[in-house]
Amino acid sequence: MNEILAVPLIAAVLAAVGVLTAAFLTHKWTMKREDRSDRRAVEREAASSLCETLYCLQKLVVSSEVRTVLSQDIFEAVALWETTYRRHETLLPSSWRHVRRSVASALGEHFGVIGTSNLFSVPGDYPVAAHDAVWWDNARDYLEYLHHQLSRWGHKPMEAHKIKIHDFDTWLSQRR
């Protein structure tokens, strides 16, 4: 092979390899960025759905101070929460997996067994516990706290690992 042709040929091959490598890396980085963007969108949707159904539970707790809430209404709201939670459970950081039990604990302390119907087999017409101002306050405030933390996740999904959500018992012990 002619030395005069070899140098430009080697340069052309190296340039082609460089261009292909750059194209490959650009494609890979773009796909990774799009995947992160898609993940953030899915997590925002999950946070929004969880907050929406949590808000329904909050409304029930708040209204129970001034009127009797029907056990069927509690049962249906808890079932909706459970369905929403199960749909988005895999997106939650592992340190948040207690949220399902914590909501049941807060509602159970206020409404009685019917509030834990997502964890235990409870008929929809099970009687509601008598109103207790202390447990009403605890349930209302914990659900508000939880709603706030999940909303923070919706606003900054990539920082979920930084957001601490205490389980109901820990939150209750720190409250006093």
pLDDT at residue 106, as a whole number: 96
Looking at 25-29, 32-36, 42-46, which range is the least confident one? 32-36
Q: Which of 120, 109, 113 is nearest to 143 (CA)?
A: 109
Which residues contact residue 72 at a Cβ distance below 8 angstroms, ignoring those fewer than 6 apart? 124, 125
For 150-172, the pLDDT digits (tens) are 999 988 877 888 899 999 999 99
For 78-95, the pLDDT digits (tens) are 999 999 999 999 999 889
